[in-house]
Amino acid sequence: MAFPVPPLLLLAALLVVAATRLWDYVLVPLVWRPYAITKGFREQGIHGPSYSFFKGCNEETRSMKQKTDGLVLDVADHKYLPRIAPHYLKWRAQYGKEPRSERRQKEQ
């Protein structure tokens, strides 16, 4: 003999399951985790460009890349970083070098 389940209780249970799935598979990876990682980095003294939910920092990178696309390099020129990664040079100047290279310089 089966017990009858009220439809409202069944609907409430399904909503709880749907909300839990939405939290676990959408909100945590796309919203909460990037902000938590950024907060952790900032507590360690590591700063960088701010995070935007919809765009990230892609628009800034794309605009810098478009400005340098017309840059022609000499064949013997080994300074290719401004051509292929202008955002890295800007961010390195703005936020500092990566910690690993600073450690290497101190060791030498």
Q: Same structural domain for residues 66 and 102? A: yes
CA distance 108 to 31: 41
Measured CA distances, 43 to 9, 30, 54, 96 (Å): 45, 21, 24, 16
Alpha carbon 8 to chain centroid, angstroms: 41
Q: Same structural domain for residues 105 and 68? A: yes
| Cβ-proximal residues to 47 (8 Å cutoff; 6+ apart), any chain | 41, 95
Q: Same structural domain for residues 37 and 55? A: no
Q: Same structural domain for residues 42 and 63? A: no
pLDDT tens column, 22-80: 999 988 988 888 889 888 888 988 777 777 777 777 888 888 888 888 888 888 878 88
CA distance 89 to 14: 51
pTM (predicted TM-score) = 0.50
Residue-number span of the structural domain to which 83 is assigned: 49-108
